[in-house]
């Protein structure tokens, strides 16, 4: 049986996705690609911006602090002891003291030396408050001395103790007869008369020698002896043929030096003295200076050539804590070469000068630089 033929169904056209077609022109196609890329970027920002803002807000938000606290007990502080008074500053200026002045520690002093002394002078200065006495010295020369004298060289110690000699009684000597002053009484008068009644009489007097003293009685003695009344009322007999020993003024045991010139003095009355405190360094320096002075004078006596008057030599040297001279050199000046050598030898000949004490090392270190000035006076 034949089947009826049916007409084929027509296919409906499908819906196509609209997509821009790229132009075949290169310039146009590049513009199209740029526009599409811009649209895609803006679309991506719109989708991701809310998420980024929310995360940033969560991060910045401050977390609430925990409502807890801790209590720490501070350790008990130990009781602080009372502050000890600071020791006074040590003096720093060396001076040569007067050995004849009494030992008297001052209250405050910037000077140090070989002895404790308080400033004083024989004639006080009104309203004077200086730490040094008023002196008339050389204004052009610097000096640390206030007195001048003569040093006695130290005696060398005996090596072996010698036994004491047995004392021998001196022979008896008859004492010389004391000299007496010749005295003659006041002479009388002798009246002479002649036999002639018309003559003139005369009176004769015997005049004693002019050196004879008057007295009530005749006393035999030497007419050369004189009697002098001293200031204390004591009668002293003087015989020119037998002079007595002249009283000698005690020589001060201090080095001969130029005195410093100082017009401002002190009100204190007494032997000339500085305001100074004793220190080991002061005693060490004083002995060092005196030793160099004695050696220098000895070299001057032994030398046959004396520098011109007014010659000045300055010598700078370094002394260590063992008392050794490690470096020495005379200063540049117009002094003769022999004068410079004598000054250098005066310092080095007696070295070493003794080891420093622990206190000196603590204050001065292990070496010190010094400068000595030598003046050749006329």
Q: Name the residue ranges covered by the structural domains of the chain.
A: 91-151+254-278, 291-378
Residues in CB range of 310: below 8 A, 6 or more apart? 376, 377, 378
Confidence of residue 286 (pLDDT cuts 50, 70, 90): very high
Integer Cα distance of 39 and 19 in angstroms: 15
Q: What is the pTM of this model?
A: 0.54
Alpha helix (H) residue ranges in 21-125: 26-60
Q: H or E segment at 293?
A: helix 280-302
Please check whether the domain covering 291-378 is classified as CATH 3.30.470: no
- 135 φ, ψ (degrees, to nearest 5): -140, 150
- 334-356 average pLDDT score: 92
pLDDT in tens, 358-378: 989 988 899 999 999 998 876
Structure tokens at 346: 């005066």
First to last CA, the chain: 178
Structure tokens at 282: 């002061």
pLDDT in tens, 215-252: 666 666 666 666 666 656 666 666 666 666 665 556 67
Q: H or E segment at 226?
A: strand 226-229
Integer Cα distance of 42 and 72 in angstroms: 59
pLDDT in tens, 245-275: 665 556 677 888 888 788 889 989 999 999 9
Q: Is the pLDDT of residue 351 over 60?
A: yes
- 92-111 average pLDDT score: 89
Q: Is the pLDDT of residue 170 over 80?
A: no
């Amino acid at each position: 049986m034949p089947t009826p033929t049916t007409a084929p169904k027509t296919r409906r056209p499908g819906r196509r996705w609209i997509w821009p077609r790229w132009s075949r022109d290169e310039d146009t196609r590049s513009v199209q690609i740029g526009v599409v890329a811009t649209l895609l970027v803006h679309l991506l920002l719109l989708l991701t911006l809310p998420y980024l803002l929310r995360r940033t807000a969560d991060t910045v938000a401050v977390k609430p602090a925990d409502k807890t606290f801790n209590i720490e007990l501070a350790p008990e502080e130990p009781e602080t002891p009372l502050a000890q008074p600071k020791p006074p500053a040590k003096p720093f200026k060396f001076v040569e003291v007067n050995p004849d002045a009494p030992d008297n520690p001052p209250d405050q002093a910037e000077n140090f030396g070989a002895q404790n002394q308080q400033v004083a002078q024989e004639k006080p200065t009104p309203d004077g408050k200086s730490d040094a006495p008023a002196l008339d010295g050389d204004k052009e020369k610097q000096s640390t001395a206030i007195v001048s004298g003569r040093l006695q060289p130290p005696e060398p110690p005996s090596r072996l103790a010698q036994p004491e000699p047995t004392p021998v009684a001196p022979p008896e000597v008859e004492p010389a007869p004391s000299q007496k002053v010749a005295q003659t009484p006041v002479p009388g008068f002798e009246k002479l008369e002649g036999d002639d009644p018309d003559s003139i009489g005369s009176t004769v007097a015997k005049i004693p020698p002019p050196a004879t003293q008057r007295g009530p009685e005749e006393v035999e003695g030497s007419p050369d002896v004189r009697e002098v009344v001293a200031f204390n009322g004591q009668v002293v007999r003087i015989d020119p043929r037998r002079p007595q020993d002249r009283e000698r003024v005690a020589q001060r045991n201090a080095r001969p030096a130029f005195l410093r010139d100082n017009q401002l003095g002190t009100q204190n009355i007494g032997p000339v003295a500085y305001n100074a405190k004793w220190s080991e360094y002061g005693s060490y320096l004083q002995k060092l200076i005196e030793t160099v002075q004695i050696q220098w004078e000895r070299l001057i006596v032994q030398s046959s050539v004396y520098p011109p008057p007014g010659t000045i030599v300055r010598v700078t040297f370094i002394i260590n804590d063992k008392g050794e001279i490690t470096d020495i050199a005379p200063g540049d000046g117009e002094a003769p070469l022999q004068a410079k050598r004598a000054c250098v030898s005066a310092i080095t000949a007696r070295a070493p000068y003794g080891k420093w004490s622990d206190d000196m090392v603590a204050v001065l270190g292990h070496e010190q630089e010094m400068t000595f000035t030598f003046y050749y006076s006329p």
